[in-house]
A and B are shown apart, each in its own frame.
Chain A
Amino acid sequence: MTTLPQTTEKKLGLVIDLDICVGCQACATSCKEWNTGGYSAPLSDHDPYGGDPSGAWLNRIHSYELGEGAAGRTVHFPRSCLHCEEPACVTVCPTGASYKREEDGIVLVNPDTCIGCKLCSWACPYGAREYDYDDGVMKKCTLCVDRIYNETLEEEDRVPACVRACPTGARAFGDLGDPDSEVSKNVAAREGFNLLEEFGYKPTNKYLPPRMKTSAHVSPEPARKSAPVSAGNGSMVEKLFAWADQKLSR
């Protein structure tokens, strides 16, 4: 059903810390590895080792430069489906294949009924859906619905593959509808924000901002010495001059 649920019991989602992420791509590769054998398998690739590789990935890591000069910085920016509360990617779907789960708010595509019309990808402002040209259906982040409730996995593995893989702890998973959950508390403490808030789809996933640079006093650089004269052609006379230059510059 493409009618959106009024409310969902839980709001499962991710919290991504832009202050910590180093852009290593571990979450993206881990996502690809799990999901090409998981719920929306396969995630087809074309020409993966050739000159024009492409394929369906559910998580993409951008790097951006912000600001100018000393105030500028680099931010690594993972981007995947945000499991929005009011997304048109669900309501535009003609078949009901694209839907939002009432129990936990996860937005999924049913691979057995999707006709591959691609309209849902047009309705997503975040570019989070990728069409699989071989499979003929739309692919997107499932929040690893086949891991998080999977009792055949160890308890610690019942989180999305990206969260499990992140070596820096930049990704967290939890119920953002519960104000007392770890993730919600962290979002409140760090002033987590929504991407493209102005658009109004009410994303569930939150991003934590990079910390502002501290204004602590930095000791000035020692006075610069002029570079010593090079030893020129290496003759004894040149070496003598170089030695004298060094001594005199002290």
Chain B
Amino acid sequence: MHPAYSVILFTTASGAGYGLLFWMALAETFGVLPGGRALSLAALTFSLALITLGLLASTLHLGRPERAIGALSQWRTSWLSREGVAAVATYVPAGLLGLSWLIYLHNDLFHLVAALAAAGAAITVYCTGMIYGSLRTIRQWNTPLVPLFYLAAAASTGALLFGLIYSLFGYSTPLLEFLLLCLVAVSGAVKLTYWRQCDADKGQYTAEMATGLGAWGKVRPLDPPHTMPNFVMREMGYQVGRKHAQKLRRLVVLFLFAGPMLALALSALTGAGVFFWYLLAFLMTVVGIVTERWLFFAEAEHVSMLYYGAERA
């Protein structure tokens, strides 16, 4: 599948934003969010900015962005529509949470609001994962591991951002770093399992099934229907990245998982320069997550390519 840069930016930026929102709101729900109101407000604004940036980027790949509001209507069947509804709805408790910090309005009700914001963030990311996970036409996507990894990636990139911001203001404990390390390890384990599953599945559909002509023997393309690639081939038959896939996967393992884990471990163990360890971990994560998302698209194979010479899909 063709990796659209706007979609990569959207899923990674808003994923991290929702992750940050989730951890802050969760901490607030249990009344353990460190720092003062100003810091909370600043961090929340940052998370909403990331989310909004991502959502705006996602409208860039639409042919008719001015009609985007219509995408909120079909939540009964469409995961894309559900994602839109969840994203818009999450602004409400997130905004109220900000308001409560701004005007120092605080009572038990706001624990509930915080819980709603955390739930909204998680649901939105799950919907994003399901847009891909529900497509049976792409076997690399049609697995529960896809929404699971979207959740794990948002949780770990958001948590790193949380650690980075709060460590800048001196709030950090080795315990948090250790928990974060575990979170990154979990998302790494999900991704490795996912790759193993993808590599084992060579595809259950064949060119013979696609054409219904298996009784005559092997089906081979003779003349293409058009002299140059059409939309279907460009969008569904993207192959540029496949030959570098192994190299890029190693880069993801290094930058998204191993590197940040090492930085977090060193931070927890030495207890010195915590912010810089976080910054290092975060910068590596940015490179890692963008590469991971690019690969997620580039490695995905679409069933329609059976008509264009693919033997299995």
Contact = CB atoms under 8 A, between A and B. Distances in A.
Interface of A: 1-3, 18, 23, 28, 52-57, 60-68, 71-75, 77, 79, 88, 90-97, 113-119, 121-127, 129-133, 135-137, 193-199, 207, 209-210
A100 to B, nearest CB: 12
Interface of B: 1, 61-65, 67-68, 70-74, 76-81, 84, 131, 134-138, 204-205, 209-213, 215-232, 235-236, 302-308
A127 B223 CA distance: 17
Contacts of B308: 127
B78 A114 contact: no
A64 B77 contact: no
A123 to B, nearest CB: 6
B217 A67 contact: yes
A125 B137 contact: yes
Contact of A199 (B67, B134, B136, B302): B136
26 contacts: A2-B78, A53-B226, A53-B227, A54-B228, A56-B231, A62-B224, A63-B223, A64-B221, A66-B219, A79-B225, A88-B134, A95-B71, A95-B73, A95-B81, A113-B67, A117-B61, A118-B61, A122-B135, A125-B136, A125-B304, A127-B302, A127-B308, A130-B232, A133-B63, A196-B306, A210-B216
A123 B204 CA distance: 17
Given A93-B78, A198-B209, A207-B212, A121 B231 contact: yes
Given A96-B74, A197-B209, 9 more contacts: A62-B307, A67-B216, A75-B216, A90-B77, A94-B81, A114-B63, A119-B131, A121-B232, A125-B137
B63 A135 contact: yes
A64 B232 CA distance: 18
Contacts of B70: 94-97, 113, 115
A197 B212 contact: yes
A114 B80 CA distance: 13
Given A195-B211, A196-B303, A60 B226 contact: yes
Contacts of A66: 213, 216-220
A117 B71 contact: yes
A193 B212 CA distance: 7
Given A64-B219, A74-B222, A125 B79 contact: no
B228 A2 contact: no
Contacts of B78: 2, 91-94, 119
Contacts of A95: 67, 70-71, 73-74, 81
Contact of B135 (A54, A74, A123): A123
Given A136-B63, A193-B212, A62 B223 contact: yes
Nearest to B229: A54
Contacts of A209: 212-213, 215
A232 to B, nearest CB: 42
A127 B232 contact: yes
B74 A130 contact: no
